[in-house]
């Protein structure tokens, strides 16, 4: 094995572990703001380190940090943990689908990937909420259908927070630490 491979693998493991730990700390700090239209939905910053993990270290790293959120939240509420994982992971998949296809990445492709991530999150979470809320909560299907536009609005805003925060931190980091740049 080459020294470069060992160093890169070590950076991947350390970076993923650090950002995964940050996800857990942010979750347990409970710095959340309720969505005014449906207060049981809350805005948080958990998605930012997950997206940053993806941007810095790749899809596997982003997936691992999403799993950390599932386990961390799942200790308190397994259903909420799964839904948070699904929301953030679908956002990462949406961004990944666009960025994987086009190299080099310019502002247009970054913007399209952000939009793709948010749209993927909205679609996946609308389906998941429609299918799973009647099973795991006392909510009836008719009520969920009324809530879906509001849930989609929430996911659009939370997805934008995650993607924009992740991209902004990534851009700031690669300006200061060019060796992190993976493009």
Digit-coded pLDDT (tens) for 99-124: 888 766 788 888 999 999 999 999 99
For the chain, the three-class secondary structure string (H helix, E strand, C coil) is CCHHHHHHHHHHHHHHHHHHHHHHHHHHHCCCEEECCEEEEEECCCHHHHHHHHHHHCHHHHHHHHHHHHHHHHCCCHHHHHHHHHHHHHHHHHHHHHHHHCCCCCHHHHHHHHHHHHHHHHHHHHHHHHHHHHHHCCCCHHHHHHHHHHHHHHHHHHHHHHHHHHHHHHHHHHHHCHHHCCC
pLDDT tens sequence across 24-73: 999 999 899 999 999 999 999 999 999 999 999 999 999 999 999 999 99
Band of pLDDT at residue 181, cut at 50, 70 and 90: low
pTM: 0.90
Q: What is the residue extent of each domain of the chain?
A: 3-180
Indicate the CATH number of 3-180 among 1.10.1760.20, 3.30.70.260, 3.40.1160.10, 3.40.50.10490: 1.10.1760.20
């Amino acid at each position: 094995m080459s020294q470069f491979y060992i160093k890169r693998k070590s950076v991947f493991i350390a970076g993923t572990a650090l950002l995964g730990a940050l996800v857990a700390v942010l979750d347990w700090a409970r710095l959340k703001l309720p969505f005014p239209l449906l207060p049981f939905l809350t805005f948080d910053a958990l998605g930012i380190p997950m997206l940053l993990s993806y941007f810095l270290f790749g899809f596997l790293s982003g997936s691992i940090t999403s799993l950390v959120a599932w386990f961390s939240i799942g200790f308190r509420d397994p259903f909420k943990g799964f839904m948070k994982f699904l929301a953030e992971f679908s956002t990462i998949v949406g961004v990944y689908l666009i960025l994987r296809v086009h190299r080099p990445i310019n502002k247009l492709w970054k913007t399209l990937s952000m939009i793709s991530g948010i749209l993927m999150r909205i679609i996946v979470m609308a389906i998941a909420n429609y299918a799973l809320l009647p099973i795991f909560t006392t909510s009836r299907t008719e009520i969920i259908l009324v809530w879906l536009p509001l849930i989609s609005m929430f996911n659009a805003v939370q997805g934008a927070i995650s993607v924009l925060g992740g991209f902004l931190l990534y851009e700031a980091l690669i300006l200061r630490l060019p060796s992190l740049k993976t493009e």
